[in-house]
Structure 1
């Protein structure tokens, strides 16, 4: 493996010298849109919305916005994607071989997103760009001599009666890895195909001493549990006792900060944390610059992006899109501002709202951070709490009590008097006495709108602390355990009441 490591590192260094970014972000995005419209102009969607005529327009982007409406999942699926499960050439040429089931952080059930050959190629292309960016970090050759552990959802896909396979996007990606990936990919397709989460992790833990892991990728909550299980099984103090070359962790799916302290506790040496924006709808961005968690947008990989201001110009007080929101291009956004992301892609998504809110950290190059989801915006009685503000309060609370709080859930429910309160559920070993008052103070100091709401319609908050075992039991009972699963931080009243019922069971 040593000679392979030298060759890989040399190849990355050489590639970086020939990479140029002379094309402006605006030109790159216009070229992507033109290519997408050209490929899809003869589909049912393309004919219905006149892609051929849009391509003739002097201002391509303006014509596209004028002719094609904004879609959410429900109307995209009901009007188009459900037909694409059975028929060819609906929103993209041909018929998809795969549909990705989303992890279900929003909505009543998992979504089903079409996955085309071109889309899989685009994700591999973004992955290659991320690997090439490692040149900027100056990692030692030992990293490239080691193996990569990807903790995905099950690679055992289900056959649909309509002739396609379905599963979560990470499982679809793993199932499509070329054979030569086996040289460095762990745990390997056999273990990755184990459907039961606990069995899969036990198999990983059993094989761990046989691997030389240098990098790990996956959602923080599940990666942390896996590493803790490996440490417990082999009676270790830190994960570096078994994997001394572990140097890189590619996070994604949820914000990493609430997990940082627990990750550092099981590592003997510092690990470089890279963030990734890899959703069922695309590999949208990745960390490509040292000493930041900001992510570089994939502007030339089969995606066209638009941005709706996450304020009164684009959304309602409850976080829903306005009927005619302001829509901006990559050349019109501003650093420090938050936007709802719209995506058009080579999977046949058109002006599609993913549900994520991003903030631009820089424009040269365009780099973003995910600050939350539109549905993780708690504003039932005017509290206007974003996911980022809630994360900040939880981190401060954990620091005050000298502990960690990885997961939390909150929802606006009515108490016995019919008044609204915020019900919080924290996953931690923290003592619950006095927590509600302290969390209330932190939220008031961080957000004036919350303070106003607390003086009016929001009559109080309640905090319940549960153990990690109780949380895992809840996930098992709701079939949300492992893989790419992300628990919604903001719950509607019905889901919060279901959670409370499960965790209160004797």
Structure 2
């Protein structure tokens, strides 16, 4: 009998804390656990964690006494001292690992604290997700025991004064349990490689030696890796090399723009499993084959709050106002967009992670990621979300029968009014004017505010078709190659200036 056919006893379910209770009760239990552990830290002493624990209404008292933080605020007030080796600042003990953020919207890397408690919680969630595969129908169980190709950051971490820093994927791979070693590819030696192109070439060389059942990573880089393997070995599909490949675990960006091009590389259908693993922690995962979204991890190591993503709580730049409205999990509604605040077992307190989510099934705590607080366009009130953009690109691509793996949009002045400028990656033959009209048409259908403003202050839409290689070259020029790095869907400020310089040939690719 396969492990996934076994019905787990209640004792094991309790040990793994598999979600089966009231989410509100689970979340308050998690909050109490976090506060109790951090009560003697400097942060806990300043913000009255003992008083919160003694309160009848722990959640509300926590919101009353502890302020909301973004990265710059919590780093400047608290986290910078942990980098100097000071213990017991926001979490007990010294912080020995930091995840370097992979975003392209900030000039400098962010140092996100990683603790053993956080990594332990992440591992438990990974096991839960693995166990959830027993609910998948027609699951090729033999594929689970095959190799897991995880295309992440280098495990060769940067050494600081008393700490190490790097991609979370690299830290996780470096500290993975011994029992996983036989399954893990590309193996320790290749995983240490920092040069992304060299790493990909080494993976391509080793590919015939492996029997891969799972691939894990950001869609763009996984697709590139499979294309290189198919080209080198003159294959019809990746399944000619790895016949047991059955699962693709992805996250970080919407998979829809990549799906059409991705499936051209396959010889048979595979299952797609979405995860929400950020540098700050493992927040959610798809736990059923045809789920509407991902289930939030409500009973492990993260306490969630939800800020309605509207003009009352955010300014025009996507920055949080002081004292925003913050809801707990039992107070949310389906169909509304919320920005996430998280408190974690790494000393991250009421922290604005920057993503926006929407509940699609409140009872099951299932969410979809709808965008970023900074990655939206609302020059004149069009309120265009990344979700709108993804859908419009997908629909336009389907109607014109073309694959659009990457795109980005900028808002620009246009006379006395404004315009949107789209940059679209497409290696198929496509009429740029037709594509421009299609995307504009779909956005009008999807977003009423956009439709209104297109007849008013949003006077024009421009669109340039570029090669996918152009987008990758820009990421290389910015030093954002491989691992968890994603191309931003909306360009603003410094990143927009750099993109415009790059297209003019003024920003060169790093060698």
TM-score, normalized by length of structure 1?
0.94
Per-residue CA deviation, residues 296-340 of structure 1 (Å, 9 max, x unaligned), is 111121110111112345334553323232211111112222211
- 2:273 aligns with 274
Do structure 1's residue 314 and structure 2's residue 313 form an aligned pair? yes
- 2:27 aligns with 29
Q: Distance between the aligned counterparts of 1:163 and 1:318, measured in 2?
A: 37
Per-residue CA deviation, residues 429-459 of structure 1 (Å, 9 max, x unaligned), is 3332343333322222322211232233322
Within a 5 Å distance, the mapping from 1:284-433 to structure 2 comes to: 284-292=283-291, 294-415=293-414, 417=415, 419-429=417-427, 430-433=430-433
More displaced 10-residue stretch of structure 1: 20-29 or 245-254: 20-29
Per-residue CA deviation, residues 222-273 of structure 1 (Å, 9 max, x unaligned), is 1111111111111111111111111111110101111111121111111100
- 1:15 aligns with 8
* Cα contact 2:4–2:133 (8 A) shared by 1: no
Q: How far did 1:14 drift? A: 4.5
* Cα contact 1:273–1:293 (8 A) shared by 2: no
More displaced 10-residue stretch of structure 1: 355-364 or 45-54: 355-364
* Cα contact 2:26–2:298 (8 A) shared by 1: yes
Q: How far did 1:490 drift? A: 0.6
SS of residue in 2 equivalent to 1:376: coil
Q: Distance between the aligned counterparts of 2:39 and 2:53, measured in 1?
A: 9
Per-residue CA deviation, residues 60-99 of structure 1 (Å, 9 max, x unaligned), is 1111000001101110111011111121000000111101
- 2:223 aligns with 224
* Cα contact 1:318–1:377 (8 A) shared by 2: no
- 2:156 aligns with 156
SS of residue in 1 equivalent to 2:479: coil
SS of residue in 2 equivalent to 1:461: strand
* Cα contact 2:68–2:323 (8 A) shared by 1: no
Within a 5 Å distance, the mapping from 1:102-113 to structure 2 comes to: 102-113=101-112
Distance 1:293 1:109, change over 3 A: farther
Q: How far did 1:16 drift? A: 6.9
* Cα contact 1:155–1:192 (8 A) shared by 2: yes
Q: How far did 1:19 drift? A: 2.5
- 1:476 aligns with 476
Q: Distance between the aligned counterparts of 2:356 and 2:278, measured in 1?
A: 13
* Cα contact 1:123–1:282 (8 A) shared by 2: yes
Q: Distance between the aligned counterparts of 1:68 and 1:12, measured in 2?
A: 45
Within a 5 Å distance, the mapping from 1:59-74 to structure 2 comes to: 59-74=57-72
Q: Distance between the aligned counterparts of 1:286 and 1:307, measured in 2?
A: 18
SS of residue in 2 equivalent to 1:326: coil
- 1:460 aligns with 460
- 1:437 aligns with 437
* Cα contact 2:104–2:480 (8 A) shared by 1: no
- 2:39 aligns with 41
Q: Distance between the aligned counterparts of 2:312 and 2:502, measured in 1?
A: 40
The one of 79, 100, 103 equivalent to 1:81 is 79
More displaced 10-residue stretch of structure 1: 170-179 or 350-359: 170-179
Q: Distance between the aligned counterparts of 2:204 and 2:5, measured in 1?
A: 31
TM-score, normalized by length of structure 2?
0.93
Distance 1:55 1:210, change over 3 A: same
SS of residue in 2 equivalent to 1:405: coil
* Cα contact 1:359–1:369 (8 A) shared by 2: yes
Distance 1:431 1:155, change over 3 A: farther
SS of residue in 2 equivalent to 1:214: strand
Do structure 1's residue 190 and structure 2's residue 189 form an aligned pair? yes
SS of residue in 2 equivalent to 1:351: strand
Distance 1:289 1:412, change over 3 A: same
- 2:56 aligns with 58
* Cα contact 1:126–1:283 (8 A) shared by 2: yes
Q: Distance between the aligned counterparts of 1:145 and 1:350, measured in 2?
A: 38
Q: Distance between the aligned counterparts of 1:431 and 1:445, measured in 2?
A: 21
SS of residue in 2 equivalent to 1:433: helix
SS of residue in 2 equivalent to 1:485: coil
Q: Distance between the aligned counterparts of 2:188 and 2:476, measured in 1?
A: 24
Q: Distance between the aligned counterparts of 2:96 and 2:272, measured in 1?
A: 33
Within a 5 Å distance, the mapping from 1:131-142 to structure 2 comes to: 131-138=130-137, 139-142=139-142
Q: How far did 1:142 drift? A: 1.1
Q: Distance between the aligned counterparts of 1:16 and 1:182, measured in 2?
A: 28
- 2:448 aligns with 448
Per-residue CA deviation, residues 163-185 of structure 1 (Å, 9 max, x unaligned), is 10000111111111133322101
- 2:509 aligns with none
Per-residue CA deviation, residues 462-504 of structure 1 (Å, 9 max, x unaligned), is 1111102222221111111111101111111442242133134
Distance 1:49 1:126, change over 3 A: same
More displaced 10-residue stretch of structure 1: 145-154 or 30-39: 145-154
* Cα contact 1:15–1:132 (8 A) shared by 2: no
Q: Distance between the aligned counterparts of 2:487 and 2:70, measured in 1?
A: 21
